[in-house]
Structure 1
Amino acid sequence: FAASASGSKRRDGFGHACCPGRLFGQDFRQLKEFCVGRRLKFIDDMFPPDSKSIGQGVLSPSDLARVVWLRPAVSGFGLELLRTRPSSCKGSPGNCWFLASIGALTFQDQILQQVVPQEQDFDENYCGLFHFRFWRFGKWVDVVIDDKLPTINGSLIFVHSKKQNEFWPALLEKAYAKVCGSYTDMNAGTPAEAMMDFTGGVHMSIQLSDPPPDLWGLMSRAGNFSALLSCSTPQGSSSLTLSPNGLVQGHAYTVTGVVQPVKMLRLWNPWGKGEWNGDWSDRSQDREKCLSVVDDGEFWMTLEDFSKFFTDLDICGLNPNFLDEDSSSQWTTSVAEGRWVAGTTAGGCMNYKGNRLQLLQKIPKCFKQCKQSFQ
């Protein structure tokens, strides 16, 4: 492909995990130096604390009119930015997919530290400024936000932790909403979307009604290679209805463990409560080695029951190594950037034979080059 401006930035270092691009050109360090030097609290004019950032449809007009944007110190929450797995998360009914992705993220410290940079905190230089990193459209971007969060009657509206001093999930959600455009624009997504934006990795979606022959092996390798895993239950007659087996219908869960030789899976409901109550559940008689019998949202179940009561599984790894049974072979990856160029890389409409013929002539050569590279 012909080199583009973004490709030039990548060559200069921007867009990599160690040196991400800057969303809207906002530089976290420069903004912090400015605010700290002048003893100002940062307000993000690119994602302002107003109704436009929330968007239309996720809240009723009456609730939207009651929204007050508060900083942590004003809202009464403890000034501490914890970066461990939240004890539980709640939010609007349409963002359980994001909650499950957060749960998967917290089991991989390396990925968590990439998405949630560690050098920021509520310290003496606190100025209401935070930043997070996401993989978007082929490159890493650094997303700056202020810490004003939408509340009604002093309570957070969207993602919030059970612990009042556990702040990073709500701040992470705000940064992701900024990338998407608004809180409304990130409503009712899929866990795969967020997991890919957390890793920049390889994604595989599996329909459990027609699983691959080596499903267990695939999941085991994914766990060994620090991949993120999430799953979903089938939709019920109404959204988020509790089934007799304890699972919530139309809900996203996180796969937190894969245990051998018995084919057992550990799963987590990001709500922090509401668990599977079948075989090997917390209180079942065949769970003598159960570590906890409290309703904390985490539970065990067999692969057989998992395949029966969940509809799909999403795996997102930093690389494709989990795909191969032969662990001695490692994949190498590369990224190519470019743009469509009329008459060169753009085929045009199907009745324009000129460009189509050029592309068809290039196809055999491409296949030949691919074949040689694997020999």
Structure 2
Amino acid sequence: MPAPGVCMNIVNARHMKDGQGTRDNPERFLNQDFEQLKQYCLFKRLRYIDDMFPPDRRSIGEGILSPSDLKQVVWLRPAKIVPNPYFEVDGISRFDFGQGMVGNCWFLASIGALTFQTDILQQVVPLDQKFDENYCGLFHFRFWRFGSWVDVVIDDKLPTVDGRLIFVRSKNPAEFWPALLEKAYAKVCGSYADMSAGTPAEALTDFTGGVHMCIDLTNPPPDLWELMFRAGKSKSLMGCGTPQGETSANTVLPNGLVQGHAYTVTGLKQMMSRGQLVNLVRLCNPWGRGEWKGDWSDGSPLWQTVSPEDREMCLAVADDGEFWMTLETFTKTFSDLDICCLCPDFIDGSSSCHWKTSFYEGRWVAGRTAGGCMNNLDSFWTNPQYRVRIEELLEECSEGHGEKNMLVSLMQKPDKRNRRLVKSLHIGLTVFEVNYKAQRGKFDASFFSKNNPVAQTKTYMNAREVMEFLLLKPGEYLIVPSTFSPNETASFILTILSKSETHVHENSGAHDHENEEAEEPMHIENGEDIEDKRMLFRQYCDKDEEVNAEQLQKLLNENFLKGDLQSRGFSTDACRSMVALMDTSSRPSGKLNVDEFVRLWNKIVTYKDIFFRIDVSQTGTLSLSELRNASIAAGKRISDNMLNLMALRYGASSGHMSLESFISLILRFDCMSAIYRQLSDGMNISLREPEWMYLTMYT
């Protein structure tokens, strides 16, 4: 039986702290271990078949092949396609491959960029893979996926029709690295069909795990050439796209370019032509054919105006999909440029300054932590908040005075395996300067109504990632990631890169220990005499002057709630939990004595009063957006993650929480905190398996 998600969440967080998911120690995708599988196949003399991405129509997916074409597909290993297959032939090049029947030009354009950077290429494509004596039909590749590097295992069965590959294929029929790499990426996307349509930014980021910068070429920066030149020198990957036409079809224009198509930026060159400097950009079509026909194309007479040396170096007259054009033409004919690299040094050209990275995972949850943009001031404050303190700029980073010193990236993290099923929300960032150093917990609506942002996303975009380059002086700031509309649920990754020493923490009211900032609960006057409670207790107790869960249930429902019900009262299970949590005897009896009952009564009276003070709408329930205030009033400062978990466990599907559920929740939180304090050293807790089972099975 697999462990519950809350357990796996903790395990994954620990793995990340231990260095798993890094470039040097990637996670095993779908828990498949390449080395173990290889040794097993070699020992058993088997050819591997991947049951997690089986060679059948499920892995192809829907929509790219007709039913009749699907019936003709045969999955073959490379040795069944050609007599002597090779992983790669004469090295890896952008000219090795051409696009197949799936619309993944964005992915193949990114592969073209990848072939220029050997270090990055070898991280993604382990080049020690061969069809040799240790061949067992098993290959693996590595990608960065939403915060972690993963090692992806595949078998080498490839879809064919009449013995020919139907998706990406090498120009040399004996070379198979492009087809195997495409299959591995199809696996992480869900299927080959899930690779249809996208932008180079997605694959470029997944190849590097680095910094992505998108430049709108309809309004390019004045230093675009210098920026691209620095990016080229700093081992960046660059891709770009043409504007979409009236339809989604990849229509070839009279000038040779394809509408709605991704290209690779493969080179930059400045040369003299007729006495003037000309800035040229070299691009490559992932189709492996089809080129620009205008100025500086392969047949352009302008090549006769440059030196023989430049012409010899740059001009290659062949229909290989690669061509040159001027920077001015590039900005007029292409819509956007994506630059991706391991570090944003190329932005200002400072190689002596090392940017520092902070990385956080969070979640917007409808009704709780999804407040929408600032158009919704009454709920905006409920969004996750991150507090940032920026120190003085380091001396080696201060050369470019006035340059941007911080990059903030917000990436949506999908909750679905299949890429085509992921619904991208409109997301953005807002940054505020903070002068309230003594403030603890989340800033409420009053802060945002009185303070204007110092920086923000101009337009919320339904992109996988949005990012902002900022110039922030030393001081304290609050970063609020949000969706445009409130009550939209999604996970996200917030990445902060800074030239300065920067300290960041989630500003949710709690840190590693959810109750370390706990306060005294709101004081409630309780005029009931203790003796009155004892007398009430005696009306329901047994001959040993104790109550079990069923007796406690009857007592509370008849005397405590008194008509304040939005459900059927405390359930038997809730009362069993109360008995277990309040039972202080060294050998649990499953019953409460009179003193334990009085302590329980006092607690639930306090929690009931808090509930109705926070329930300003007087509905007899708490909206989940009010749950945090009620928890704080009860002396419990909780993080956004804990708030979401509480609401899932104790809230109703309607998005509201009853009085009985709130009391059960806070009582459990209070008692489990006390148990932790008793059994821990203040930082960690250590339990043997029998102790763990003894504790959890009763409480």
One fold, TM greater than 0.5? yes
User: Is 1:45 aligned to 2:54, yes or no?
Assistant: no
Match in the other structure for 2:97: 88
- 2:354 touches 2:499 (CA, 8 Å); kept in 1? no
User: Is 1:147 aligned to 2:156, yes or no?
Assistant: yes
- 2:257 touches 2:290 (CA, 8 Å); kept in 1? yes
1:175 is paired with a residue whose SS is helix
Structure 1 residues 352 and 337, CA, compared in 2 at 3 Å: closer, same or farther? closer
Per-residue deviation at 1:119?
2.1
- Whole-angstrom CA distance in 1 between matches of 2:357 and 2:302: 48
Match in the other structure for 1:265: 281
Higher relative contact order (CA 8 A, sep 6+): 1
Structure 1 residues 260 and 163, CA, compared in 2 at 3 Å: closer, same or farther? same
- 1:145 touches 1:174 (CA, 8 Å); kept in 2? yes
Match in the other structure for 1:305: 329
Superposed, 1:223-238 pairs within 5 Å as: 223-237=232-246
Match in the other structure for 1:330: 353
- 2:102 touches 2:167 (CA, 8 Å); kept in 1? no
Aligned equivalent of 1:285, options 290, 301, 305: 301
Superposed, 1:148-163 pairs within 5 Å as: 148-163=157-172
* 1:308-360 alpha-carbon deviations (Å, 9 max, x no partner): 11111111111111111x42442323243455699xxx746586799679321
- Whole-angstrom CA distance in 2 between matches of 1:206 and 1:348: 29
- 1:240 touches 1:249 (CA, 8 Å); kept in 2? yes
Match in the other structure for 1:176: 185
- Whole-angstrom CA distance in 2 between matches of 1:246 and 1:313: 19
Per-residue deviation at 1:36?
1.0
Aligned equivalent of 1:256, options 256, 262, 266: 266
- 1:4 touches 1:337 (CA, 8 Å); kept in 2? no
Aligned equivalent of 2:15, options 2, 6, 9: 9
Match in the other structure for 1:68: 74
Q: What code does the residue aligned with 2:120 have?
A: I
Per-residue deviation at 1:237?
4.4
Q: What code does the residue aligned with 1:241 have?
A: T
Match in the other structure for 2:442: 359
1:241 is paired with a residue whose SS is coil
- Whole-angstrom CA distance in 2 between matches of 1:152 and 1:230: 31
Structure 1 residues 100 and 335, CA, compared in 2 at 3 Å: closer, same or farther? same
Structure 1 residues 279 and 48, CA, compared in 2 at 3 Å: closer, same or farther? same
Q: What code does the residue aligned with 1:299 have?
A: F
* 1:168-197 alpha-carbon deviations (Å, 9 max, x no partner): 111111101110111111111111111111
Higher deviation after alignment, 87-96 or 208-217: 87-96
- 2:87 touches 2:176 (CA, 8 Å); kept in 1? yes
Q: What code does the residue aligned with 1:59 have?
A: L
Q: What code does the residue aligned with 1:84 have?
A: I
Superposed, 1:67-146 pairs within 5 Å as: 67-76=73-82, 78-82=84-88, 83-85=91-93, 86-92=95-101, 94-146=103-155
Per-residue deviation at 1:55?
1.1
- 1:4 touches 1:339 (CA, 8 Å); kept in 2? no
* Larger-Rg structure: 2
Q: What code does the residue aligned with 1:367 have?
A: Y
Length, aligned pairs only? 369
| TM-score, length of structure 2 as denominator length | 0.50
1:287 is paired with a residue whose SS is helix
Aligned equivalent of 2:255, options 245, 254, 277: 245
- 2:289 touches 2:319 (CA, 8 Å); kept in 1? yes
- 1:78 touches 1:164 (CA, 8 Å); kept in 2? no
User: Is 1:314 aligned to 2:338, yes or no?
Assistant: yes
- Whole-angstrom CA distance in 2 between matches of 1:100 and 1:15: 26
What is the percent sequence identity of the aligned residues? 58
- Whole-angstrom CA distance in 2 between matches of 1:354 and 1:100: 41
Match in the other structure for 1:199: 208
Q: What code does the residue aligned with 1:332 have?
A: W
Structure 1 residues 276 and 340, CA, compared in 2 at 3 Å: closer, same or farther? closer
Structure 1 residues 263 and 141, CA, compared in 2 at 3 Å: closer, same or farther? same
Q: What code does the residue aligned with 1:277 have?
A: K
Per-residue deviation at 1:234?
2.0
* 1:89-121 alpha-carbon deviations (Å, 9 max, x no partner): 121251111111111111111111000012211
Name the Cα RMSD after superposition.
Answer: 2.8
Match in the other structure for 2:584: none
- 2:356 touches 2:501 (CA, 8 Å); kept in 1? no
- 1:77 touches 1:164 (CA, 8 Å); kept in 2? no
Match in the other structure for 1:215: 224
- Whole-angstrom CA distance in 1 between matches of 2:280 and 2:19: 43
Higher deviation after alignment, 59-68 or 129-138: 59-68
- Whole-angstrom CA distance in 2 between matches of 1:354 and 1:272: 51
- Whole-angstrom CA distance in 2 between matches of 1:101 and 1:371: 28
- Whole-angstrom CA distance in 1 between matches of 2:102 and 2:379: 48
- Whole-angstrom CA distance in 1 between matches of 2:201 and 2:193: 18
Per-residue deviation at 1:7?
2.5
The unaligned stretches of length 5 or more in structure 2 are: 1-8, 272-277, 305-310, 384-439, 452-474, 480-497, 503-699
Structure 1 residues 371 and 203, CA, compared in 2 at 3 Å: closer, same or farther? closer
Q: What code does the residue aligned with 2:113 have?
A: A
Structure 1 residues 87 and 372, CA, compared in 2 at 3 Å: closer, same or farther? closer
Structure 1 residues 271 and 235, CA, compared in 2 at 3 Å: closer, same or farther? same
2:303 is paired with a residue whose SS is coil
Higher deviation after alignment, 164-173 or 355-364: 355-364
- 1:135 touches 1:197 (CA, 8 Å); kept in 2? yes
1:316 is paired with a residue whose SS is strand
- Whole-angstrom CA distance in 2 between matches of 1:352 and 1:310: 40
Structure 1 residues 371 and 151, CA, compared in 2 at 3 Å: closer, same or farther? closer
- Whole-angstrom CA distance in 2 between matches of 1:153 and 1:178: 24
- 1:4 touches 1:338 (CA, 8 Å); kept in 2? no
The unaligned stretches of length 5 or more in structure 1 are: none
Q: What code does the residue aligned with 1:265 have?
A: V
Per-residue deviation at 1:280?
1.4
2:206 is paired with a residue whose SS is helix
Structure 1 residues 68 and 264, CA, compared in 2 at 3 Å: closer, same or farther? same
Q: What code does the residue aligned with 2:86 have?
A: E
- 2:97 touches 2:178 (CA, 8 Å); kept in 1? no
- Whole-angstrom CA distance in 2 between matches of 1:354 and 1:189: 33
Higher deviation after alignment, 160-169 or 289-298: 289-298
2:213 is paired with a residue whose SS is strand
Structure 1 residues 371 and 70, CA, compared in 2 at 3 Å: closer, same or farther? closer
- Whole-angstrom CA distance in 2 between matches of 1:218 and 1:6: 38
Per-residue deviation at 1:138?
0.3
Per-residue deviation at 1:260?
2.8
| TM-score, length of structure 1 as denominator length | 0.90
Q: What code does the residue aligned with 2:236 have?
A: A
Q: What code does the residue aligned with 1:246 have?
A: G
- 2:356 touches 2:499 (CA, 8 Å); kept in 1? no
Per-residue deviation at 1:246?
1.6
